[in-house]
Amino acid sequence: MRKPPTYEEVSEEIGAIYPVLYRAFEAATAKAKDYFVRQGRPIDWQLYPDLVRYEAKVLLVEAGHDAQYEMEELSRNGLMAVFSGYPTRIRKADNGTVPLPGNSQPYMLHLNQQAWLSLFGERKWNLMALWDTTPLGLLGSIRLALTASATKASVENYWIETIPHPAAAQQPPTTPGDGQTEIEREDIDIGPAASEEDERADEGK
């Protein structure tokens, strides 16, 4: 049985895409929120994820020409990309974790690490990128997950980690005070935000 890569190992290969994801989903969630603000209506949390996916897909396709990754076509503005050989489905988080597959067989295969083979016969692992929002409709966090197995009613992960926001990752180290020694500081994680009901049975989401 293959040993799954750690979050750190995966990040060494695809970490350059993290700022691109944050830029795309910060802009997409802001545009989706603005749609309701301009109409003077409260956010419809059923429609809102569709608007976010559409806007994010446009931005990611545009950025892909420079960031060197491929977007895959899914129905209903579903988001999937191949980052440095890692097939990655991009979904709205379900309470901070991976949404259940429900009746979607392709999504089930992806979660069970069975869906993809590379052109050279060596398959890289399937990943999940999970975006979440604040109660006000703006981006809260993006997480990366490596799933181990899934059924209709459950998903098991090897790991799930919050991707540090680029602004937090670029903060200068704090100068130690008198009598203190300088220590290495981890990037600040942005805490998970409340999520809405996921669209489990729909392949395109």
pLDDT score at 82: 86
Closest CA to 146 of 161, 164, 163: 161
Least confident of 59-73, 85-99, 160-174: 59-73
> Using one digit for the tens of pLDDT, what is the confidence trace for 122-164?
678 999 999 999 999 999 999 999 999 999 999 999 999 999 9
Element containing residue 73 per DSSP (H, E): strand 70-73
Higher pLDDT, 174 or 139: 139
Higher pLDDT, 46 or 194: 46
Least confident of 17-26, 56-65, 101-110, 133-142: 56-65
Give the integer Cα–Cα distance in Å for 80 and 178. 50
Backbone angles phi, psi at 48, to 5 degrees: -50, -50
Cβ-Cβ contacts under 8 Å for 201 (sequence gap 6 or more): 102, 103, 104
Give the integer Cα–Cα distance in Å for 102 and 63. 31
Q: Is 24 helix (H, G, I), strand (E, B) or coil?
A: helix
Structure confidence at residue 177 as a pLDDT band (50, 70, 90): low
pLDDT at residue 196 greater than cutoff 50: no
Q: Considering the chain, what percentage of its residues have pLDDT values greater than 70?
A: 71
pLDDT at residue 61 greater than cutoff 80: yes
Higher pLDDT, 40 or 76: 40
Across the chain, mean pLDDT equals 80
pLDDT score at 156: 97
